[in-house]
Structure 1
Amino acid sequence: MKRRDFVGLTSLAAGALFLPSFPSMAGNAVDPSRLLEPVMDATVNKRLADAALNAAKSAGASYADVRIGRYLNQGIFTREKQVQNIASTESFGAGVRVIANGTWGFAATNTVTEAGIAKAAQQAVQIAKANSKVQKEPVKLAPQKGYGEVAWKAPIQQNAFEVPIAQKVDLLLAANAKALENGANFVNSALFQINEQKYFASTDGSYIDQDIHRIWPTFSVTAIDRASGKFRTRQALSAPMGLGYEYMVPKAADKVAGPAGSDVIGYKNSYDILEDAARAAKQTKEKLTAKSVTPGKYDLVLDPHHLGLTIHESVGHPLELDRVLGYEANFAGTSFATLEWRKQGKPYGSKVVNIVADKRQPGSLGAVGYDDEGVKTKEWMLIKEGTLVDYQKIRDQAHIVGQNESDGCCYSQSWQDVQFQRMPNVSLQPNKSKLSVDELVKGVDKGIYIAGHGSFSIDQQRYNSQFGGQVFYAIEKGKITGMLEDVAYQTNTIEFWNSCAATCDESDYRFSGFFNDGKGQPSQSSAVSHGSATTRFNGVNVINTARKVG
């Protein structure tokens, strides 16, 4: 079968069972043309929402909210010169959350009619009343004013679903060709596109219509030394973004060079997949002969695409208030940063560590106007000059820490899942004074520059951890001297952030992020970005991952 014929015949994603382990493609397989249908009608949604809210109040709810959602996904998967799969999915339904007898109840339906949604509301109240028999304390919601009828739309320039599939396939296959031309033996590439159309209404008086877009191009390149059987890989240095297809149109102004001698290029609001694929192949071949690192203490210079994962695991997750309170102990652990730990006044990091939470950052994965319980999003400090000053919280948590306002970080992955506290964008603020990457490296006598996400592990309290990367370069007396391999650093959260010595300025600030951040039981997935500039950490313990222990 010719590739063009294949593209035309795979619109219904019959091979959905063979999807790689990438972002969730939940929903029903649909023809790609379905993804181009108009967004949900706000007038119709308001009528449906009122049916749910009225039914909930009539059944005895003291509070109710309803989310009507249409979730669109498309994934395109290729390998070398072939298309592996094209999957387009749609999920549509409504979820109703209520408080009755001081207790939460939730129910969902894909029968999105006035009768169907009213029935779900009544069921949610019944569940709440049943749960109230074992509830020890009533739910206490932080006050929230109603906003009336409002709308928020991601400021995209081009809807990725409107771009012909053949054009997107051609781009991925061109990236594969670039990798193969530059020495790769194998290459896989993929492009994920998501559109969340969400309508929220509550008894507080809010009717909020939102249209959210996300995109993620990615690949994996492998080079083999056939004589020895040794192989190395390098993943894409792209960041998933809250943008449209304009992200796939590279602009020179969006490229940021790593330190001189590193052969690393970072990307801001647009991404050059062809350049990155070619560079990845060259770097992967170089990794085959790179020097294996000598274990010891090193100053680390961490690229934003790498540092985002460390921020995510060692700051983002441990400062989720539900983890701090022990509500998340049944899945992925709790947090060392308890309320008692905070009272002790111990520094979370050095004075240069200023970490902010913000769900409004343009282009970020977490960018929305309102969260999934109708709270307007905002920016707030988590760590100020190394001191823990706040957590991430939602409406029914604020009173526990003596506050009367939600942070607007409640989210659900779909209409059929209940919303709960999720990580907002969590970012390390850049240096207010001018400091370039090369200037940062000049101050390092013995160090390693690391770019890209690698394997990692962290304990249940988000304290002891180990992180790898994609590419590593030795730094000697302020200069990059060559590529290294088998690098990972071991540390604990407090030691690591207290070793933070300096961060570059705003010109180097970029996003890293994740399409599929898992949390909860049953597990849910959310998308989140982490911004930072290149940052130096002094005296960090580095191990050799290829050496045997004992």
Structure 2
Amino acid sequence: MKRRDFVHLTGLGAAAAMLPSIPVWGNSVPLDAALDRIDPALKKRMSDVALNAARSRGATYTDVRIGRYLNQFVVTREDKVQNIVNTESYGMGIRVIANGSWGFAATDKMDNDSIAKAAELAVAIAKENSRLLTEPVQLAPQKGYGEVSWKAPIEKNAFEVPMKEKVDLLLSVNDAALKGGANYANSILFLVNEQKYFASTDGSYIDQDIHRIWPTFFLTKIDAKTGKFETRNSLSAPMGMGYEYLEARPQDKIQGVTTLYKGRYDMLEDAKAAATQVGQKITAKSVEAGKYDLVLDPSHLWLTIHESSGHPTELDRVLGYEANFAGTSFLTLDKWQSKNFKYGSELVNIVGDKTQPGSLGAVGYDDEGVGTKKWDIIKDGVLVNYQAIRDQAHIVGLNESQGCCYADNWSSVQFQRMPNVSLLPGKQKKSIDDLIKNVEKGIYIIGDGSFSIDQQRYNFQFGGQLYYEIKEGKIAGMLKDVAYQANTQEFWNACSDMCDESDYRLGGSFFDGKGQPAQSSAVSHGCATTRFNGVNVINTARKI
């Protein structure tokens, strides 16, 4: 799978063609399958079988993950339902250390004999791997939590909502878009429920229930005279929430060029606005290349944070252990060790955070049984930390893991994955209008689009969904054919102003790719609307 398929399903064609490009595990199951639960006592007994079998074969450490992964996809186009898919994947992954080396095995046969054999296989693999070791695995200490549980603080389980209600919503979105002038409209609802159980020889037995939701749509309008077309995708963010995400409240409105919401989403309202805006894009003025001050909405900036801040601070990329999906990282250890590497301006404070309610990465405990937390990565513009898990912590002088280990399925081995990586909002009260009124020559960008970034996460180019010209502090009309280019350090040092907490919103990716074999994870990135001065803008429609 290409990275763009993971990061966002931007620009995909017919809805029926979408599902093959989306990572889906498991077998089809009845629509009400997600309402069933497995008794934690049974999961504990199965875990103990694996822990005891691995110990008896010489494992010095073992962890067990029992996962039940449920996905629901509702896909529509114009006035038709294209597909409804419900899948379930259920099994156990067993990871061990033996002779100082990692070993891993998995099974979907959940009887005692099969579990014991999988544990024994994991130990045998570890012992064979140890023949290639240069130094043994060094795990940061981790206390056992005993028997604990964590549930996502959702208000309404989306799997319990009647299918008719979901279909009616999506078809009404398509209808509103078509009546508003779009020629083609398809809408999709993705639901995820991860029922995860973790046990380890550290003494933890952790039961977690995680929910995610992503409503999205794709509109196209064709100019009948010229045959040219434009698109406008949904401005929704995937979230770690229940169906309440789709129940927008008046008090959550953020007024701007287009109406957005803080923490909620009005899909129908967005579709109506999109139908108008996609028509405006056809007649919009093509941008003149040059230097502009950029005012970037969170619905756009989250992706720039993800690519230029999230991935380059993954410690495995920094160390060269991970080079898939656009390479390693320019943020090498010497820059961190200097304690004064100027990543950005003093306004730039970027944190890793696995605890933020509503975010895609929020869990109580990671896939190594480590309690999640929040920590500084960039402090006042200076690189101060990375993202590290138990077997990496000692490399950067940490006494404990930061709790950002994850596997996308019970059959996948867990490894370091990006937590929610977010830009903290400004401390002074400022609205979007306050940012715009101080711009003489600029562009206001809303929504994410195509992008490109190099193998060290340094030189990049980003586009968006909607572009508005700013002249002498006022919106002067819509633009098109816009993309900006910079390198990471130059861009973040150009950060000059930002809105406060009242404008802080989450964007994110349902399908962030990493590793080989490839795995995907869901991750959010928060920020407020932010200004960057003197950024190079190109015209994407003109040949150089």
Q: Which TM bucket (shorter chain)?
A: over 0.9
Give, in whole Å, the separation in 2 of the partners of 1:296 and 1:331: 30
Q: Superposition pairs for residues 307-386 of structure 1, below 5 Å?
A: 307-344=301-338, 345-386=340-381
Residue 448 of structure 2 aligns with an amino acid whose one-letter code is: H
* CA shift digits 1:120-164 (9 cap, x unpaired): 111000000000001111000000000000000001111111111
Which residue does the alignment assign to 1:491? 486
Alignment of 1:81-480 (within 5 A): 81-258=79-256, 262=257, 264-344=258-338, 345-480=340-475
Q: Distance in 1 between matches of 2:294 and 2:114?
A: 57
Moved more, 27-36 or 277-286: 27-36
Q: Structure 1 residues 87, 304: CA separation in 2 closer, same or farther (over 3 Å shift)? A: same
Secondary structure in 2 aligned to 1:455? strand
The answer on whether the counterparts of 1:238 and 1:267 sit within 8 Å (CA) in structure 2 is no
Give secondary structure in 2 for the equivalent of 1:124: helix
Distance across 1 between alignment mates of 2:538 and 2:152 = 43
TM-fit CA distance, 1:228 = 0.2
Alignment check: 8 A CA contact 2:16 2:82 kept: no
How far apart, CA to CA, are the structure 2 residues paired with 1:503 and 1:195? 35
SS in 2 for 1:470: strand
Match for residue 12 of structure 1?
none
The Cα shift of 1:252 comes to: 1.2
Relative to 1, partners in 2 of residues 1:455 and 1:361: Cα closer, same or farther, differing over 3 Å?
same
1:228-270 deviations in Å (ceiling 9; x for gaps): 0110000100000000011111211222122xxx2x1222222
CA distance in 2, matches of 1:55, 1:412: 23
Deviation of the 1:30 alpha carbon: 1.2
Contact kept, 8 Å, 1:487 with 1:545, in 2: the verdict is: yes
Following TM superposition, by how much is the alpha carbon of 1:415 offset from its aligned partner in structure 2, in angstroms?
0.2
3-state SS of paired residue (1:452): strand
Percent identity reads: 67
CA deviation after TM superposition for structure 1 residue 332, in Å? 2.7
Which amino acid in 2 is paired with 1:478? Answer: G
**1:527 is aligned to 2:527:** no
CA distance in 1, matches of 2:535, 2:255: 24
TM-score (norm. length: structure 1) = 0.95
Q: How many residues align?
A: 529
The gaps in structure 2 that reach 5 residues or longer are 1-14
Q: Judge conservation of contact 1:332–1:519 (CA < 8 Å) in 2.
A: no
Distance 1:115 1:40 in 2: 20
Counterpart Cα distance in 2 of 1:330 and 1:299: 33
CA deviation map 1:506-549 (0-9, x unaligned) = 11000000000000000000000000000000000000000012
SS in structure 2 of the partner of residue 133 of structure 1: helix
State whether residues 25 and 74 of structure 1, in contact with CA within 8 Å, keep that contact through their aligned partners in structure 2.
Answer: no
How far did residue 31 of structure 1 move?
A: 1.5
Distance in 1 (CA, whole Å) between partners of 2:110 and 2:263 is: 37
Please say if residues 326 and 453 of structure 2, whose CA atoms lie closer than 8 Å, have aligned partners that are also in contact.
no
Structure 1 residue matching 2:220: 3-state secondary structure: strand
Of the structure 1 ranges 508-517 and 337-346, higher mean CA displacement relative to structure 2 is found in 337-346
Q: CA deviation at 1:377?
A: 0.1
Alpha carbons 2:485, 2:535 under 8 Å: kept: yes
Letter in 2 for 1:81: D
Per-residue CA deviation, residues 270-329 of structure 1 (Å, 9 max, x unaligned), is 210000001001000000000000000000000001000000000000000000000002
Q: Residues of 1 paired with 2:514 and 2:84: CA distance?
A: 27
1:44-67 deviations in Å (ceiling 9; x for gaps): 011110110011110000000000
C-alpha separation between the residues in 1 aligned to 2:365 and 2:458? Answer: 31
Q: 1:19 to 1:472 in 2, by over 3 A?
A: closer
Kindly state the Cα deviation for residue 341 of structure 1 after the two structures are TM-superposed. 2.5
Q: Structure 2 CA distance, aligned partners of 1:458 and 1:530? A: 18
* Corresponding letter in the other structure for 2:226: S
Length-normalised TM-score, structure 2: 0.96
Q: Is the 8 A contact 2:326 2:457 kept in 1?
A: no
Whether the aligned pair in 2 keeps the contact of 1:83 and 1:169 (CA below 8 Å) is yes
Structure 1 stretches of 4+ moved >6 Å: none
The equivalent of 2:35 in structure 1 is 36
Structure 1 residues 19 and 456: alpha-carbon distance in aligned structure 2, compared to 1, 3 A threshold? closer
- The structural deviation recorded for 1:95 is 0.2
- 1:25 Cα offset (Å): 2.0
Residue type of the partner of 2:260?
A: G
The letter of the residue matching 2:520 is S
Distance, in Å, in 2 between the alignment partners of 1:92 and 1:329 is 30
Equivalences for residues 502-513 of structure 1 within 5 A: 502-513=497-508
1:26: how far off?
Answer: 1.3
Matching residue's letter, 2:34:
L
Q: Output the amino acid matched with 1:411.
A: Y
Q: 3-state DSSP class of the match of 1:32? A: coil
Shift of 1:18: 4.9
Question: Using the alignment, how far apart are the partners of 2:507 and 2:422 within structure 1?
Answer: 10
- How far apart, CA to CA, are the structure 1 residues paired with 2:466 and 2:366? 37
Q: Tell me, in whole angstroms, the C-alpha distance in 2 between the residues paired with 1:198 and 1:492.
A: 39
Q: Counterparts of 1:300 and 1:415 in 2: how far apart (Å)?
A: 43
Q: Which residue number in structure 2 is paired with residue 9 of structure 1?
A: none
Q: Give the match for residue 9 of structure 2.
A: none
